[in-house]
Amino acid sequence: MFETLPAKQPDAILKLMMAFREDPRADKLDLGVGVYKDENGATPVMKAVKSAEGKLLQDQDTKAYVGPLGSPAFNQQMITTVLGADADTTRLRCAQVPGGSGALRVLTDLLVSARPAATIWLSDPTWPNHIPILTAGGAKLSSYPYFDASSGKVTVDAMLETLSKAAKGDIVLLHGCCHNPTGADLTHEQWTAVFDVMKSQGLMPFVDIAYQGFGDGLEQDAWAVRAMADALPEMVVAASCSKNFGLYRERVGAAIVLGRNAAEADRALANLSTIIRSNYSMPPDHGANVAERVLTDDALSADWRDELEAMRVRMQSLRAKFADALRKRTNSDRFDFIAGQKGMFSRLPLTPEQIESLRTENGVYIVGDGRINVAGLPNDSAELDQLAENIAAVL
Ligand SMILES: Cc1ncc(COP(=O)(O)O)c(C=O)c1O
């Protein structure tokens, strides 16, 4: 029977990862894969996570099911981490889910079940996996303009113009911070203009926040999602602990719902529970248990915040150095935008041929749309300069 299935290609990023692995060159450089890397090119287990895992091994006394919604304490901590200590918890509910991807999928199921005719609007461009995840949930998708590749800036007027024509009841997927793949975020003023259009059009936010702590800081990066909770009556949020806890393979995330009132929030959570039960039944425990231990222990939490902050500062300094090297090598300011962008990604204005040439000639692996992982940039100034020279040479 399997002969009836369509042939499938691995997705572009997985294909790039495989090609990188097979490349025998010692000086090859992976700017493709979306995981944080330290100055040695490693993705280590964070210290607070390691310590919480040690405690878990010692004192965990059961492997019984956690229930479809996961641990109440984890869920409460995630609401506080994302929406702040002052959030109106009477209208907020949370489910522990397998990663940001799991959150996106179960929340899509919830939204489609609540409002089957709604369109979900995605930024153009967006994280490529949004499209298959939301489509698998049965959502109707459309896109709003977001990014001008030549200036590296958000095309906010075009975004507002498109959203002002969306139908009442439509849903808008917004990257809470550190937009993937562009690194271009809205300013507070621009966010406020987006909220105004959404309010007047009756649109609902679906926030994806996968990089909290990677942009301007853990609290600062939550500004938009918190302001949205104040400005709009309802919202759903897909949060991931993959990046800011480095818990990628453990699959930890949170699906958060803000209802108009407590009764509607409860109804949404009960539906989410049913969706989860009929899908993977219960979330994995290990990673969420570790995140919960970190967030509920003052010393571990402080340690985690410090390490996360050091990762953020490292990426920001790499951005500044890379923009500087490119300014010198290209004799222009066309790459200056890299320094001011946020998070782990930026998108270089390169053609597919230039990207291909960097891979074949220099062993530099960049995703086909020009997205680079800033954390993968060389720490060594001579190597960074060489990369800038290679990029200047293909322009
Ligand atoms: C924008 C965005 N959302 C969600 C995710 C999902 O992350 P995970 O499912 O690994 O937690 C990612 C991962 O790369 C992402 O970049």
pLDDT exceeds 90 at position 364 = yes
pLDDT exceeds 90 at position 340 = yes
The neighbouring-strand residues paired with 142 are 121
Nearest to 132 by CA among 141, 124, 123: 141
Within a 10 A sphere around the Cβ of 349, how many other Cβ atoms? 15
On the question of a cis peptide bond just before residue 116, with omega within 30 degrees of 0, the verdict is no
Only one residue has tokens 């800036």, namely 153
* Residue 171: per-residue pLDDT: 98
130 C-alpha vs ligand 1 centroid, how far in Å? 9
Contact 347, 370 (CB under 8 A): yes
The active-site residue, picked from 109, 208, 285, 324, is: 208
CA angle (250 as vertex; 319, 366 as ends), nearest 5? 35
* Residue 10: per-residue pLDDT: 79
127 lines ligand 1 (CB under 6 A): yes
Q: What is the mean pLDDT of residues 232-236?
A: 97
pLDDT exceeds 90 at position 15 = no
Q: What is the pLDDT of residues 279-302, one digit of tens each?
A: 999 999 999 999 999 999 999 999
Q: What is the pLDDT of residues 93-114, one digit of tens each?
A: 999 999 999 999 999 999 999 9
Q: Whole-angstrom Cα distance, residue 81 to residue 386?
A: 40
> What is the chain's length?
395
In ligand 1, the atom with minimum distance to the C-alpha of 101 is 9
Q: What is the pLDDT of residues 173-183, one digit of tens each?
A: 999 999 999 99
Q: Whole-angstrom Cα distance, residue 174 to residue 172?
A: 6
135 C-alpha vs ligand 1 centroid, how far in Å? 16
242 lines ligand 1 (CB under 6 A): yes
Residue 208 designated active-site: yes
Task: Locate 261 and state its tokens.
Answer: 């009132």
pLDDT exceeds 90 at position 12 = no
Q: Whole-angstrom Cα distance, residue 365 to residue 12?
A: 12
Nearest to 146 by CA among 170, 178, 122: 122
HSE of 94, CA atoms in CB hemisphere, 13 A: 30
* Residue 71: per-residue pLDDT: 98
126 lines ligand 1 (CB under 6 A): no
Q: What is the mean pLDDT of residues 30-48?
A: 93
Strands 140-145, 119-124: pairing kind: parallel
Q: Whole-angstrom Cα distance, residue 254 to residue 243?
A: 13
The active-site residue, picked from 103, 210, 268, 388, is: 210
253 lines ligand 1 (CB under 6 A): yes
What single DSSP character describes residue 222? G
* Residue 51: per-residue pLDDT: 98
Return the best residue to mutate from 131, 242, 374 for the ligand 1 pocket (most ligand atoms within 8 A of CB).
242
Domain residue extents for the chain: 10-44+301-394, 49-296
99 lines ligand 1 (CB under 6 A): yes
90 C-alpha vs ligand 1 centroid, how far in Å? 28
Contact 143, 127 (CB under 8 A): no
Contact 236, 110 (CB under 8 A): yes
392 C-alpha vs ligand 1 centroid, how far in Å? 31
| pLDDT classification of 151: cutoffs 50, 70, 90 | confident
Give the range among 2-11, 49-58, 108-117, 135-144 with minimum mean pLDDT.
Answer: 2-11
Quick one: CA dihedral 287, 21, 320, 355, positive or negative? negative
34 lines ligand 1 (CB under 6 A): yes
Q: What is the pLDDT of residues 244-281, one digit of tens each?
A: 999 999 999 999 999 999 999 999 999 999 999 999 99
Q: Whole-angstrom Cα distance, residue 269 to residue 142?
A: 26
Q: What is the pLDDT of residues 318-332, one digit of tens each?
A: 999 999 999 999 999
Task: Locate 178 and state its tokens.
Answer: 């550190």
What is the CATH topology of the domain spanning 10-44+301-394? Aspartate Aminotransferase, domain 1 (3.90.1150)
* Residue 387: per-residue pLDDT: 96
The neighbouring-strand residues paired with 257 are 93, 236
377 C-alpha vs ligand 1 centroid, how far in Å? 20
Computed over every residue of the chain, the mean pLDDT equals: 96
* Residue 33: per-residue pLDDT: 83
In ligand 1, the atom with minimum distance to the C-alpha of 240 is 11
* Residue 249: per-residue pLDDT: 97
Q: Whole-angstrom Cα distance, residue 357 to residue 362?
A: 8
Three-state secondary-structure class, residue 92? strand
- Domain 49-296 falls under CATH 3.40.640.10: yes
